[in-house]
Structure 1
Amino acid sequence: MRSRTRYIIGRDSQLLEIKQALTEARDGRGGVVFLVGEAGIGKSRLAAEAVGMAFTAGMRALRGRSSTTGPTVPFRPLTEALMALFRGGPPGGPSLDDLPLGPYRPALGRIIPDWSSDAQDNSSMVILGEAVLRLLIATGREHGQLLLLEDLHDADPETLAVVEYLVDNLEYTNVVLLATIRTESCDALDMAESARRRGVGTVLQLAPLTRPEVRSVIAAQLDTEPELVPEAALERLWDDSAGSPFLVEELLQGMIGSGALVRAEDGWRVVGDLRSDVSTALARGILRRVDRLAPQGLTLLSAAAVIGRRFPLTVLQRMTGIDDRSLLSHLHAGVAAQLVVHDEPAPDWYAFRHSLTAEALLTQLTPTNRAQMSGLAADAVQALYPELEGEWCPLVAELRSHAGDEGEAGRLFTVAGVRALSAGAIGSAVTLLGRAERLLAASGDAAGRTAALEALLPALAEAGDFAQAFGFAENLHTLGGSGLSAERLAALHTRLAKVAHTAGRWEDGNRQIAQARALLGAHPDERSTASIDVTAAYLALDTPGPDRTQLAEKLAYSALQAAERHGLPTVVCQAWELLATLARERDFDEATALLESALHTAEQHQLPLQRMYALTRIGGNNWLTEGNTVPLLAARGEAQRLGSATIVYTIDGIMILDAVLRAEFTAAAGAAEECLAVVQRLRLAPATRYVLMARATLAAHQGERAEMERALTAFAEWDGSGSQEEPLTRGLARAFCALLEEDRPAAVSELHTVADLESTNPSTYYLSGRYGIGLLLDVLSGAAGRGPYEEIAATAPGRMRWNRQFVHFAGAVLLGREGRPDLAAAAVNEALRTAEPYATALHLGLRLIAEAAHADGWGEPVAWLRRAELHFHQHSVAPVANACRAALRRMGAPVAQRRTGSGNIPDVLRTQGVTVREYEVFRLLAERLGNKDIADRLYISPRTVEKHIASLGTKTGRTNRSALCELSASLRAQAV
């Protein structure tokens, strides 16, 4: 039989795609290729062939694999791949001074240990992604570069965040990213499909081999012609392998090894029973080949399997005590037998050719033997790498677990999890710390379990997994009888209080704070109370009550002072952020300065989560003051890459409201529906209330009262009464809906309710009307004059862009009354500039001030009313459009006839009372369009389309939509 070489059969089209991608990269057009298929389908072979193509083309190939020796480690495959840059170049690797990395240089210390430093940057995943991109471009500038990441389905969330950035930005580079992914539900597969849909990546699906292709594989392995392959062997291998190349080869070796398939003078013959259990036959075949390596070879490879699919020679040698010559001899024999391969990206590392090989070796170990060998492996790693940096810590934790030392395994998983959380790797932290907590609970180590929980609880809160977090609260009291100190127990209750605040469960949070304070007694130490006070401050700010802002500010200052004295940077950041929120009512410059202090502290102490919070609040301030969403979206990207679901959906809620205020109603409706489904499922109460408030505002700004009331009913069911969002539901939703119904008294009444709510229950949300539309209505009615106007105009909330437009309109009315028409007109122009993003508010403002301007003889009230009338007519807000027309008539101005086109309505429909707008909808029914498509064509809302169709059904007697469509098509055909 010929020597077993890799055969690439049945993959010509995929090889052509990969070759084309490499060719284009050399010409400066990089790309992304995903190889997707089930285990054993040949992804690794194609990837290896791609590496060979790259070398042939003169390109460097960097290779990293996600399937590691132990549990998930942040950035593992990227580290492995990029470390190759230090092995092929001059001593010390690429010179930092010679590479054009600019300010992105420090970020790479998170991935490349050789480049880390005490001043290592802990910046966002976007920055890190850009740093990796620039490194790839710089080091492959001459001939191009292939970045191969294998088994991306096992990658940690942080690696996927960087890969996603690369996917979106490789097009105009000389780099090809090639990644292998299994066809199983995972984030990596979702990312690949998203890239394919957006046209920034190619997904190559590897299907099982066909029967003729299986024949060709067998023939190549047997060194014969395809037509000479015994039919019985082909049938058995075709049935058992399901077209998997790996299974074909392994099962074929089993047939040969068992003597069921033998070579005769006239070719290969079947002489035994080919039937067997596939998994048993596979394991037996692998072990039969291992047996040929002699007992010491079996021991060596069994020890390697205990370490994992990948294993380092240094650890293996120390674990087994084998000498250099014997070690290399057995490894070379294993390579020749196609059991192991040299792990190319990492020197001195080897890997089993397939995970099933390692599993087969483990099956022949007794539980006692495996535990003993796992302990030896853990001892070897700790002796060689006592600091257990990077992947060594979770590897040793896994080995200690297999050795039966659950306590030590749990403590090591805690260390690994805390490291991941400190680096902002939330997804990896939850996995590692969850494992730690379970092991330490089983071992009865209360102190160790507490340490794991102290890190796990905030990680779960960031990930939005509140159910699991609150599950720990039910049995937290059991730790009290385990000799745990009051301070440690108080810290756990404080962590749970923070989780409760994130989830919007104020009562639960305050109850946890009370328990924490009770545990510390009458004279607690400041280090413990600082964390309690800052968490209590956040809860106080959101718990309904007349003094909540004062109490929150007092607690935050107390926490800040204690934290600064005792060096608690996380608490310092949290306190600055809360104080900045409170300062917005006084002065945005003050608020921004406080947030900059929080941001500086977070960056100085490498606190990625606190940095994300500070960036989010800075972005929120930009949105409030100028309507600028760019910083907020950047913060969202940061939160998404860190895995903070709570911040992602908080920002999504703001973006939905922003779309509503900008009159981008269709986009807002779709985003609200999508976001609401997620936040309700996660039980994110604050985010849910905010999105429901935005949905109510969406309906109100279209004059759809019934839809608004439905959203407000749902809002109330999520503890809306007394929440900070409640005033917004009155000012942004109910008051605006009343104004679009031309019911000013109702709007004023709603705004008075807002004032009452905020006097008894202060809110840090300032768009509820007190500082904007309420002022304009009071000025128009004469309830407010120059004094109240100046007072509000001078406030920070009065200078927020949404409020500022109404403040300018109010100022214009006052100036007109005071006989200063030029200044009044200038104020209107300033209002229009401010209101430019907000179409509904802009035209409502013009409608509201026009009659006052006409009465006082200033401005262009007729032009303003015509502009407003057209807007509200086009958006089917009939009460306001009609009011504008009535006002124009009172001013003696001609009014546009909005029934243009009535002559085009067929007689049969005109006599039935079909209106122009209904006929426009009717004509489009001939194309059998959906409501949304019709709405997009006519620039109206889907809800309005639905109303017109219902009216058409009543008027024509065709209550069935299909019948209406047929009638429309029939009349259109007659017209032609």
Structure 2
Amino acid sequence: MRTTSSITVGRAAELAMLGGALAAARQRAGGAVFLLGEAGIGKSRLAGECAYHAYGLGLPVLRGRGSSTGTVTPFRPLIEALSSRFRAAGPPTDPELAPYRPALARLVPEWRDAAPSAGAGAYPETVVELAEALLRLLAVLGRDQGCVLLLEDLHDTDAETVAVLEYLVDNLAGLPVLLLATLRAEPGPALELVRAAERRRAATVAELPPLPPAEVAALAAAILEEGTGELPAPLVEHLVERGDGCPYLVEELLSDLLDRGALRRAEDGRWLLADGSRPGVPSTIVRSWGHRIDQLDPQVRELLLTAATLGSRFSVTTVQLITGYDDRTLFSHLRSASEANVIVPDGSAPDRYAFRHALTADAVTAALAPAERAALARRAARAIVRADPELADERRQLVASLLLVSGDRAGAAVHFAEAGRRVLEAGAAGSAVVLLERAHELASDAERACVTERLLPALAESGQLDRAFELVRTLPPFPQSATAAPGPGEGPGPLPTPAVESRIELHTRLAWAAVMAERGPDAVAQVAAARALTAGRPRPEQDAALAVVEGHLALLPDHAPDRAADGVDVGDGDRDRDRAHEATAPTAPTAARLAEAERRARRAAEVAEHAGLPVVACQAWQLLALLAREQGFDAADACLERMLAVAEANALPVWRVEAMLRLGANAFMRTGDGTRLERAREAAAGLGAIVLTQTLDGLLAMNAVMRGEWHTARTIVDRCLDATARLHNLAAHRYLLLSSATLAAHLGRTREMERELARFRQAGGEESFLTPLRYGLCRAVGALLAEDRPGARAELAAGLAWEEAHPSVFYLAGRHGLHPLLEVVEGRWDRAALDRAAAVPAAELAWNRQFLRFADAVLLGREGRPAEAARAVAEAGPGAASFPLAHHLALRLAAEAALADGWGDPVAWLRTTEEYFHQLEVQPVAAACRTLLRRAGASVAQHRGGRDAVPAGLRTCGVTVREYEVLVLLADRPGNQELARKLSISPRTVEKHLASLLAKTGHPDRAALCALATDLHTGR
């Protein structure tokens, strides 16, 4: 008879909690729930009850499970979960998911054809980017009624899945998604994730305790279909004592009793134990399963033992490879095992079966003698290798696990290492680390160094740099003869061995990872190690890769290598290279060192292109573009154009977008036109490069602020800010926060600016390289709009002081434009000082150029050259189209000087400026302009435009044009923040207008004003 219960016994509190979580997800208050407990305690039953309830409510349920075979397959539970939903229905086609499809293609097979193919040209999306894409997909699936992502056996899942789940857990609030997962309380990354989420109250964790005796009895009654009748007391005592409150063990104990006939139903329908007393039973479930398996046909038994060796879930194809059965025989045996209630079809894939419970497979294999189990595992491993020598997919890991069971640790290490290499090539660094760590632990002393060299890049790519730099120090040194430089009069010496070449490449890769993480000392150490192994005779391509790293180090204020004194050039074989490179003491970047870095980077680019190393070539051209800015932006753009050409010719889409980004940024700085940046953003989004897309969004937001496109800037910030925080994309997050603060500053909203700068500070912005922009582009402009000229000069001075101590890549922070204008207006700079400022390449950038034109006009007027001064103002006129706020601010400063020195048309300029700032509601500047107009004896315009649009009745009440604009918008019942955005005014100003409207119209409250607005809209 069936020995499983059709109902859930007990767990009332847990079921109620799951019901509440489902209800919350339907109300867009998603969250995560983890069911924690030992094997067989009922986690899957509870999860199944929740899924059944969700199905009944019409919620999509996506189900996946961790691997139980010991293999590491990146994202396997997530792939299963999405496949369970999309296999029949197909993936959603919502346009809003288009930017995320390239990333999701890793999980959704139907989208893989549209994604870049694997290899050098593919975009290696980060786990966090993939997690954000999955979050967006789940939000779309649950948009109508909510959805459930159900993942079981997380203790058997991979590192990448754990990383994705960590992201989901922290970002489900406000989304219609319930994440429900089960796992055992076994030490590992999954349990660490759950405990951490529990500590920060980001998830609900339900630890399932054993069933109490009363519920054990109720479970047994349900299994035996006893209803409310009583079971024999000895039977209940036996189940309580031996079952430990575990539903699975209770089921197995009952099954054993029934199989042996020790438990039977009497003629009157009651259940009886043999002889009326508690019978002797197997001491363990293992013996119970051993007895049950022994009753089966020998071939079926052999098949089950083989399958159990593979894990609690197994592939029919793999079992067939091992056993050699034809299809008819194989499926006949599988059917017999299924009828015996030992295995069941696994719904995750058509060709998979699973043992009825995870403990079942363990019990079956535990019944074998150790020698028999080892022989079975060894035979299985050989059969798989014989049938599939390439060991595709998960089979190599399976063979490694089987060899480990058979006692062949060295063989297992070889296969784990190769599996780790393949997984790393596929871009799953976290899973590669797991596999290579296993190989490292199992490898013999002779092979451990080789495994370490494979493990180190995986650690670096997964962000575990501390572990990588600790482990690299354990590598054994090479014999001195393998790396020693020839002495005076000696020949060139032996060429480095392949092992030495591999080690050089390893140190170079680690050096690049370190310099990209801004870990200067570690980068210097790795460069030194690589140089030492070359013994002063690096091959040109080795020297090229190292030169790029050293060039980046040259930009850092500390720990920069001094290559000029080394006499080593990229590819110059006739130079003296007797000395290995050594790091110098911390020093600030010097012009000589930067010039040497540029020379070597240019040679590195040439060597890399000739040697067929396109990534190194792109790295070199990117570095050259950065260094060339000091010479002029034409030179920088030429480097970037070459970088773009190399990326396109070699199908490197990420480097292509990087080049487009930098070209777009340069184009905007030079002309004020953001078209190329927008194209770069489209390319990044089409590639699925979410982090790059967010970087471009930040640039576009700041550009919109500078162009006075307030609504566009606010829209970008509001759309992207939370997403960058979720992705922990600090660079883009800080830039968006600074853009938001600068937006407030440029609208004269000081309090809002300070609030946004506080958020910027909390995100670590004051320790970032954005500091000059905070001083010059944000706070200094804000001070000028408050008519606080000393404050503006102080902010600019602080920014200049910071730049003196740090290399800066920001050229619009004031040093080259706004600062010179203020110094000239204040009379602190003469012609020579301005000429020096105008002589640098940054002076030709559009934002800076307009300020310098006005500064030149002020000096010309002061020098008694009025016609030339007026012409200089006219030449600055086109800036009004690109940067209207900056143009009018400069015009206000120049008009004051023109009024004092008697040149130009200051009255017309002041009227233009006053009108602009009045419309912008920046009253301090507008008031200053009116004061200057009165001082000049000119009339001051009264701002009554649009009065005719105000209905007569409201005009009689004294309602102003601006108040009427607020009133009209109330028809849609927006909040104050939305009103402020639509009218480009502050929320506080909205409150003042609303209060005035209530007072003037006599209406009692806001609702009455909304009704009035509706009447006006409908013409009543």
Matches within 5 A, 1:793-942: 797=842, 803=848, 806=851, 818-819=866-867, 830-835=878-883, 845=890, 848-849=893-894, 851-852=896-897, 854-855=899-900, 856-858=904-906, 859-861=908-910, 864=913
Q: 1:476 to 1:834 in 2, by over 3 A?
A: farther
1:53-132 aligned within 5 A: 66-67=66-67, 69-74=69-74, 76=76, 120=117
Show the counterpart of 1:230.
231
Say if 1:758 and 1:3 are closer, same or farther in 2 by CA, change over 3 A: closer
Q: Distance in 2 between matches of 1:513 and 1:892?
A: 71
Aligned 1:655-804 pairs, distance under 5 A? 702=750, 731=776, 763-781=808-826, 797=842, 803=848
CA contact (8 A) 1:107 1:122 kept: no
Aligned to 1:201: 177
Shift of 1:501: 0.9
Cα distance between partner residues in 1 of 2:222 and 2:726: 54
TM-score, normalized by length of structure 1?
0.64
Is 2:32–2:172's contact at 8 Å kept on the other side of the alignment?
no
**Secondary structure in structure 2 of the residue aligned to 1:455:** helix
Task: From 563, 571, 590, give the equivalent of 1:546.
Answer: 590
Structure 2 SS opposite 1:226: coil
Question: Equivalent residue for 2:468?
Answer: 469
Percent identity (aligned): 35
Residue of structure 1 in register with 2:271 after alignment = 269
The Cα shift of 1:821 comes to 9.5
Separation of aligned partners in 2, 1:603 and 1:5: 62
Report SS of the residue matched to 1:764. Answer: coil
Matches of 1:834 and 1:692, distance apart in 2: 23
Distance 1:526 1:8 in 2: 70
Does 2:526 correspond to 1:512? yes
2:954 maps to what in 1?
A: none
Query: Which of residues 411, 425, 431 is equivalent to 1:428?
Result: 431
**CA separation in 2, counterparts of 1:581 and 1:164?**
36
For 2:571, the equivalent position in structure 1 comes to none
Distance in 2, matches of 1:610 and 1:478, equals 35
1:373 is displaced (CA, Å) by 3.8
Query: Which of 323, 331, 334 in structure 2 is aligned with 1:331?
Result: 334
Task: Note if 1:340 corresponds to 2:343.
Answer: yes
Give per-residue Cα distances to partners, 1:635-686, cap 9 Å, x unaligned: 99899979x8xx899889979988998999999999999999998xx9x9x9
Show the counterpart of 2:569. Answer: none
Structure 1 residues 443 and 823: CA distance shift in structure 2, 3 A? same
Aligned to 1:153: none
Query: Separation in 2 of the partners of 1:175 and 1:698?
Result: 36
Question: What do residues 577-622 of structure 1 show as CA deviations (whole Å, max 9, x unaligned)?
Answer: 3233345556767756755665665576666765675576567658
CA contact (8 A) 1:813 1:852 kept: yes
| Alpha-carbon separation, structure 2, partners of 1:710 and 1:525 | 49
Residue aligning to 2:601: 556
CA distance in 2, matches of 1:940, 1:240: 71
Q: Distance in 1 between matches of 2:445 and 2:648?
A: 37
Q: Tell me how far apart the structure 2 counterparts of residues 399 and 623 of structure 1 sit (CA, whole Å).
A: 60
The farther-off stretch of 465-474 and 396-405 is: 396-405
Amino acid at match of 1:361: V
Are the equivalent residues in 2 in contact too, given 1:780–1:849 (CA < 8 A)?
yes
| Corresponding residue of 2:972 | none
Confirm or deny: 8 A CA contact 2:151 2:181 kept in the other structure: no
The within-5 A match list for 1:521-532 is 521-532=535-546
Query: 2:576 matched to which residue of 1?
Result: none
Give, in whole Å, the separation in 2 of the partners of 1:730 and 1:87: 55
Residue 536 of structure 1 and its aligned partner are, at CA, apart by: 1.8
- SS in structure 2 at match of 1:120: coil
Q: Kindly tell me: are residues 204 and 535 of structure 1, through their superposed partners in 2, closer, same or farther at Cα, counting changes over 3 Å?
A: closer
- What is the CA deviation profile of residues 243-295 of structure 1, one whole-angstrom value per residue up to 9, with x for unaligned ones? 9875664565356568775433334537499999x999665655554344356
Query: What is the RMSD computed on CA atoms of the aligned residues?
Result: 6.8
Three-state SS of the structure 1 residue aligned to 2:44 is coil
TM-fit CA distance, 1:459:
0.8
2-structure distance, mates of 1:401, 1:361: 18
In 1, the alpha carbon distance for the partners of 2:743 and 2:476 equals 46
In the TM superposition, residue 694 of structure 1 has moved relative to its aligned partner by: 9.5
Tell me what 1:396 maps to: 399
Partner Cα distance (1:513, 1:607) in 2: 26
Report the equivalent of 2:454. 452
- 2: CA distance, partners of 1:608 / 1:406: 41
Alpha-carbon distance between aligned partners in 2 of 1:479 and 1:507, rounded to the nearest angstrom: 23
Change (3 A) 1:473 1:265: same
Instruction: Say how many residue pairs are matched.
Output: 834
How far is the alpha carbon of 1:452 from its aligned partner?
0.6
Q: Which amino acid aligns with 1:269?
A: W
Match of 2:384 among 381, 406, 409: 381
Q: Measure how far apart 1:456 and its partner are.
A: 1.8
> What is the identity, as a one-letter code, of the residue corresponding to 2:624?
L
Closer, same or farther: CA 800–213 of 1 in aligned 2, 3 Å: farther
- Taking a change above 3 Å as real, the CA distance of residues 761 and 344 of structure 1, as seen in their structure-2 partners, is closer
Deviation at 1:568, TM superposition (A): 2.1
Check if 1:304 corresponds to 2:307: yes
**Alpha-carbon distance, 1:715 to partner:** 8.4
What residue number does 1:490 align with? 504
Corresponding residue number in structure 2 for 1:316: 319
For residues 511-559 of structure 1, give each alpha carbon's deviation from its aligned partner in whole angstroms, at most 9, with x where no partner exists: 3212211220132222322322222222223343123443332232222
Q: Say whether the 8 Å CA contact 2:604–2:620 is kept in structure 1.
A: yes
Instruction: Give the number of the structure whose alpha-carbon radius of gyration is greater.
Output: 2
- Return the alpha-carbon distance in structure 2 between the equivalents of residues 338 and 630 of structure 1: 61
* Residue 537 of structure 1: aligned partner: 551
1:42 aligned residue: 45
Contact 1:342 1:351 in 2 (8 A): yes
SS at match of 1:319: helix
Residues 1:44 and 1:354: Cα distance change in structure 2 (over 3 Å): farther
Deviations 1:152-187 (A, max 9, x none): xxxx88975664453244479999986435699955
Match of 1:230, SS state, is coil
Q: Structure 1 residues 122 and 452 mapped into 2: Cα distance closer, same or farther (>3 Å)?
A: closer
With the length of structure 2 as denominator, give the TM-score of the two structures: 0.62
| Alignment check: 8 A CA contact 2:146 2:177 kept | no
CA spacing shift, 1:669–1:102, aligned 2, 3 Å: closer
Q: How does 1:208-247 map to 2 (within 5 A)?
A: 221-222=223-224, 224=225, 226-228=227-229, 230=231
Which letter maps to 1:69?
T
Give the deviation of 1:347 after TM superposition.
Answer: 4.5
Go from structure 1 to structure 2 and tell me whether the alpha carbon gap of 1:776 and 1:437 turns closer, same or farther (over 3 Å shift): farther
Letter in 2 for 1:449: V
- Aligned partners of 1:627 and 1:801 also within 8 Å: no
Tell me, in whole angstroms, the C-alpha distance in 1 between the residues paired with 2:502 and 2:232: 71
Mapping of residues 24-43 of structure 1, within 5 Å = 37=35, 40-42=43-45
Match in the other structure for 1:576: 621
Correspondence for 1:921: none
Output the amino acid matched with 2:310: I
Identify if the C-alpha distance between structure 1 residues 881 and 565 changes in structure 2 by more than 3 Å, giving closer, same or farther. same
CA 1:665/1:229 → structure 2, altered by over 3 Å: closer, same or farther? Answer: farther
Against the structure 1 CA distance between its residues 316 and 675, is the aligned structure 2 distance closer, same or farther, given a 3 Å change threshold?
closer
Q: 1:259/1:124 Cα in 2 relative to 1: closer, same or farther (>3 Å)?
A: farther
